[in-house]
Amino acid sequence: MPDVTFHYSERVTRVEVAASLLAATRLGICLLQLPPSVPAVDGDHSRPLAISTVRDLLIGGPDHAVLALQRMIPGADPVLVVAPEYAFGSTDWTEIDALVRAATRPIILVAGFGATIGQSVLDWQAAGAGEATQRHLGWREADGAISDIQRVNGGWCWLHTPGETTHCIAYLKNVLEQSVEAVNLPDLQEGRAIIHLAFGDVDIFPLICADLLQPAAQNAGSPQARILHALGTTAADRPALVVGSLLQSGYNVNWVAAVNSLLNTVLAGRPGQSLCATSLRMRRRPMKPMTNGAV
């Protein structure tokens, strides 16, 4: 992708991307639905199946002589790929990064990882100087440093265009799921800021699971409310995407209220969508910035 510019605040990091993303008002979207990786989460283990899925998708493999993405979404236009919460272990980054950089079309890959010691995330960013992919933190440590010994539920967001610099932004889950996650992973820490990817023609907000759940009208500090505030400074007809990486088992009525709030409060009157990738099925959801819709 072209140059990116970071504008930090305590609760939202705005990342201006000097490029447009939509092709004739549309965006190709691929949601990866992967088997749950719960047993691997506690030890932050590698997820080989998830890596092989990304390989088949972006560059092809033993079962895909032609890369799967090209068969599903032909052409050279940008594609947004969304993987679930905890899709990868932190040690998988190098392999995934190589696959993204090998992609022959513009790719935005949003993927969850963890549970990872905070110091490992800081070390990852510090080790990136001079590397082919520029590594960024989605928050400013000076605004509130994360604990180096507590773990995080994190996400990676790659911005890739062939022949240009590839960027990867690490961001953190802000709201822990209380009934299982916070109980089984008691040393898990919350992030403070969400990221706002401001392309030339669309705004994208990557969130992680429970980040999406608190309706904007009920909690002024919720990620939903912060997105609503951020969009208040943009044109009313500018498209927006709220993207969720989830690890969800079965139906939960809370999602009904959450999606309703996203579509009818946060994105009210605005071309856009709310998208979620859960825990192998790959599918396309073309974005039509004409009406609100939900996946």
Please give the Cα distance from 286 to 35 (Å, whole number).
24
User: How many Cα atoms occupy the beta-carbon half-sphere of 190 within 13 Å?
Assistant: 17
Please indicate whether residue 283 or residue 253 has the higher confidence score (pLDDT): 253
Amino acid making up residue 22: L
Task: Judge whether 293 lies within some domain.
Answer: no
Q: Is 75 inside a domain boundary?
A: yes
Q: Is residue 122 part of a domain?
A: yes
Residue scoring higher pLDDT (143 or 195): 195
Task: Compute the distance between CA of residue 158 and CA of residue 95 in angstroms, rounded to an integer.
Answer: 13
Locate 54 and state its tokens.
């990304």
Predicted TM-score (pTM) of the model is 0.92
pLDDT, position 279: 66
Residue 290 is predicted with a pLDDT of 28
β-strands 151-160, 166-172 pairing: antiparallel
Our count of domains for the chain comes to 1
Higher pLDDT, 254 or 137: 137
In a domain, 294, yes or no: no
Q: Which of 69, 73, 158 is nearest to 108 (CA)?
A: 158
Q: 36-55: string of b/e by CB count within 10 Å (b at 16+)?
A: ebeebbeebeebeebbebbb
Encoded amino acid at 157, one letter: C
For CA atoms 71, 204, 181, 121, the dihedral sign is positive
> Which of 17-21, 32-36, 125-129, 211-215 has the weakest average pLDDT?
32-36
Q: Which residue has the higher pLDDT, 63 or 20?
A: 20
Examine the pLDDT at 215 and tell me if it is beyond 70: yes
Residue 204 lies in a domain: yes
Top pLDDT among 199 and 254 is at 199
**One-letter amino acid identity for 54?**
V
- Phi/psi of residue 30, each to 5°? -125, 120
Query: Any idea which of 82-96, 104-118, 265-279 has the lowest mean pLDDT?
Result: 265-279
Which neighbouring-strand residues pair with 16?
5, 198
Question: Which pLDDT tens digit goes with each residue over 257-284?
Answer: 999 999 999 999 888 777 776 663 333 3
Q: Is there a domain that residue 295 lies in? A: no
User: Over the stretch 137-194, which tens digit does the pLDDT of each residue have?
Assistant: 999 999 889 999 999 999 999 999 999 999 999 999 999 998 889 999 999 999 999 9
The pLDDT of residue 263 is 92
List all residues 6 or more positions away from 70 whose beta carbon is below 8 Å from its beta carbon: none
The DSSP symbol for 47 reads: -
Chain CA centroid to CA 125, Å: 17
| pLDDT, tens only, 227-251 | 999 999 999 999 999 999 999 777 7
Any idea which of 24-38, 110-124, 158-172 has the lowest mean pLDDT?
24-38
- The confidence score (pLDDT) of residue 37 equals 76
292 in a domain, yes or no?
Answer: no
Cβ pair 188, 152 in contact under 8 A: yes
pLDDT at 270 (0 to 100): 87
Report the CATH number that the domain containing residue 260 is assigned in CATH.
3.60.110
What range defines the domain where residue 61 resides?
4-287
- The pLDDT mean for the chain works out to 90
Q: How far is CA 182 from the centre of its chain?
A: 21
